[in-house]
Amino acid sequence: MAEAKGLNKPVKLKNDLAQFLGAAELPRTEITKKLWDYIKANGLQTKTQNGRPENAGKFIVADAKLLAIFRNTKSTSKSGTVTDLTNMSEGQTINMMQMAAVVTANIE
């Protein structure tokens, strides 16, 4: 069987994400899927920035469990966009497009 490559290759998870997902290593695709499963199951989406959870929309509302993961995120994209969630509070939101930065910040 061929070795998994790219997004399907398992990566080592940092402690907060490993505890949240219950695994030490997962492929990026599986990390993202499991995060979205949790977000949808707990109705943590909203249509407006820092809006109330309504289980729909492009913003993700941080609950206590997600906050531990989100706060590990401080990165700069290739285009120069800074994603700094280190001072985020429960109830605040991130744009769904920031999920890639969250995943990247929580793997080794």
For the stretch 72-91, pLDDT in tens is: 999 888 888 888 999 999 99
For the chain, what is the radius of gyration of the CA atoms? 14
Closest C-alpha to 55, from 38, 73, 30: 38
Q: Which fold has domain 10-105?
A: MDM2 (1.10.245)
Quote the pLDDT of residue 23: 96
Q: In what order do the strands lie in the sheet with 45-46?
A: 45-46, 59-61, 93-95
What are the DSSP calls for 52-80, one per residue? PP-S-SSEEE--HHHHHHHTT-EEE-TT-
For the stretch 11-59, pLDDT in tens is: 999 999 999 999 999 999 999 999 999 999 999 999 988 888 887 889 9
Domain ranges, ordered by start, for the chain: 10-105
Query: What is the chain's length?
Result: 108
